[in-house]
Structure 1
């Protein structure tokens, strides 16, 4: 059967008109008023600080007693720190410092994690909130006391402990002032030698911090090294935009009968946290 050339041309034109404008847009995209989807915004921070330069020598002298008395060469070695092993310095960096003194040893570890969301519908900040919330939940903090401040008013937007599941708080304060390891898990904020009442013990318990970065918490763990020696590690974890910072400050006295001062360690760890937050704001 033969076809007229004119009929072929008309058919081709008809197909071309029905296929759209020829720009590759889909039929949905070409409809007027069709909704457009934009990717979630990236995080505020695209880089991380140099971890081993994030803490000034003056601050390290305060955090590592005895370091100031070292010979200059040894002092510089201590202040240089030891960088953490990492496979992607754009995403995570860390540094550790340690100093020995006649009264005992102190160490400091600082970790910076830049959270990136690979889901275009989830922002880096929202993903960082999720990562932070998991860290706080893993810390298993005691339930916040009604009317507490500080150091205890939770940020309900990010803090899983702010919506307590009904679990009772830890018995971290029941042996306050006795110099004992209160609680089977070793968590306590009370072994300071202060027998002035329960309020001091309660204020030193692991808790949410309400004035550090976008959200933060503090953990306090007393453990035994070997058969008798004890060491305490205070951890401060905070989020600022899409970066999560972890500070671990540890003290181990030379005498096995001595218990590290929780109040001192907590105050110094929080002070360092505030300096690091200020550094992100500059």
Structure 2
């Protein structure tokens, strides 16, 4: 039995199948962790989600910004963007089952036995793992409720750009979601800068990669994340495992075996 974590798939089914073949994945005994952005931008969004749905008993998922975007579009709370590849998924006869399944997934996953935490984008410097799990549950409880539209309608936006315990309502849920699914750069207090998407050394003045702060409260915890393709899977800090290697942009799709840290990859079409 082995556990493999995989970075952003984004609807790239052939590289995913290549990767699972390379690692000899056996759903009867092995487990997959998926670091979010399962769908969108790639060529096979519907087929990818259906494929993963069939494997659902063997996989653990955290949602990414593209997954949440699809759910919002499905509920009519956001329009399709020009680069979205969600059309076939939105009219699929099994879309209700697929949307419901996505809504049940986490934003942060922690496994005490394996000693890893997984999140799509990151955990802000001012939060411990336990803080992150508690905040994650706040969003999950609303997304899984009978009225997910309340959360989805207020999900988009860049403000507030810093956490406060006094935040409430849509503002509170939005900043939590932005930390977990959109964050790249922030300052030591957790103030977000959400415009810049380049490599780690392209930080705007006053900001730095979220994982670079020496006093980051979760610095001693092993964290798996995706989202940041420009890192090319490289993070020069301990206990951090970047797995978005830009498959949808012509890079590779990467898996890491959690038991020993060995990585596997398959090339993706540009």
| TM-score, normalization by structure 2 | 0.24
Q: Which has the higher strand share?
A: 1
| TM-score, normalization by structure 1 | 0.23
Q: Per chain length, whose mean CA-contact separation is higher, i.e. which structure has more relative contact order (CA < 8 Å, sep 6+)?
A: 2
Q: Which has the larger radius of gyration?
A: 1
